[in-house]
Amino acid sequence: MIKSGLHFSFVLLVIAIALYIFFIKYTVKRGVPPKIRRIPGLDAIDEAIGRAVETGRPIFYSTGVGGLSGDVMPQTLAGLSLLNYVARKAAEYKASLTYLAAVPAIVPIAEDMFKSAFRENYKPEQILYIPTQTALMATVMGLYEREKPAANFLLGALYWETIILAEAGARAGAIQVGGTGRLYQVPYVVSLCDYGLIAEELLVAGAYVSKELSQLGSVIASDIIRAIVIGLSILAFVLGGLGFDISKIFRI
């Protein structure tokens, strides 16, 4: 019934899903949040919002041009989780927050988030819909130069626009927090932003800032699965050195 060559990966996927479900349910039932390591980039979010309030300058947030489909969807969702957090904090401290939306499907989601965070202070202009990547880059270059943002968040599935958004933010003197799981954009995020979140750091960001038990539970499962993957890699390496090619098992 299972397609040829996919047996091993299917079993691994089922184990992974089972572990995630178990640890999410277990953590929620236990009610005690697990300890996770400090992520400076996420701790800096509050600092950046505070700086925007002190200086009276705006905050800009972008999830890049990655949408809600395909393999980038989880990164966009993680970016939106953090947008929700930033919107609530900005509303609490009465900071000016603008979301640069480059994907039409995200606009209504962001509107809902802003409406529930800012309530009567919500203004439609807070969500700036810019339809293409080129237009986004052109808009940002001018907008950041004029508005001189205090904080710039680039969190999500970032593409080629990263360099423009991050460099424009750096030129404006904004405190920048960037994060993506897209491999080719990671160097730009790390080199141009004050705080960078690499790959899975972005995906656990929602858990980190919300401290929600279900999300924290999935972090434990990720660590266990990562240990399994590392174990399998070491086993393949050692056995490979001894002349046994176990990589064939992975392709059963």
Partner 1 sequence: MSWVRRREIPLIIFAVTFLISLLQYYLAVPFLSEVNTEMTNWVLIMSTFALGTGLIALCIYHGKIIMQKKSGYFVSIILFISMLMLFISYYAAPSFADYLYNEIYTPLSIAIICFTAFYNYTAIYRAFRVRNIDAAVFAFAAVFLMMLYAPIFEVILPQTATVANWILDVPNMGASRGVIIGVALGTIAIAVRVLLGYERAYTG
Which residue stretches of 93-129 are H helix? 106-118
Instruction: Provide the minimum distance between the beta carbon of 191 and partner 1 in the complex, in angstroms, as a whole number.
Output: 3
* Token pair of 178 as six digits: 């960037």
Task: Tell me the two tokens of residue 7.
Answer: 């047996």
Only segment of 92-100, 145-153, 211-219, 240-248 that touches partner 1 (CB under 8 A): 211-219
Q: Can residue 232 be called a binding residue for partner 1 (CB under 8 A)?
A: no
Report the alpha-carbon distance of residue 91 to residue 126 in Å, rounded.
12
- Give whole-number Cα distances, 47 to 56, 90, 102, 110, 249, in Å: 14, 11, 26, 23, 49
Binding mask 115-134 for partner 1 (x = CB under 8 A): -x-----------------x
The values of phi and psi at residue 98, to 5°, are -125, 130
| Contact pick of 227, 229, 238, 246 for partner 1 (by CB under 8 A) | 229
- Residue 32, Cβ neighbours under 10 Å: how many? 8
Residue 109 sits in the site that holds partner 1 (CB under 8 A)? yes
Distance in angstroms (rounded) separating the CA atoms of residues 209 and 171 = 28
Among 43, 54, 92, 200, binds partner 1 (CB under 8 A): 200
Return the residue of 16, 36, 91, 236 that touches partner 1, per CB under 8 A. 16
- For partner 1, the closer CB: 106 or 151: 106
Query: Is 39 a binder of partner 1 (CB under 8 A)?
Result: no
Answer yes or no: are the C-beta atoms of 2 and 10 closer than 8 Å: yes
- Calculate helix-pair angle for 162-171, 133-147, nearest 10 degrees: 10
Distance CA 179, CA 172 (A): 19
What x/- string results for residues 67 through 96 when contact with partner 1 is judged by CB under 8 A? -x--x--xx-xx-xx--x------------
Q: Which residues bind partner 1 (CB under 8 A)?
A: 1-3, 6, 9-10, 13, 16-17, 20-21, 24, 68, 71, 74-75, 77-78, 80-81, 84, 104, 108-113, 116, 134, 137-138, 141, 160, 163-164, 166-168, 170-171, 181, 183, 186-188, 190-192, 198-200, 202-204, 206, 212, 214-215, 218-219, 221-222, 225-226, 229
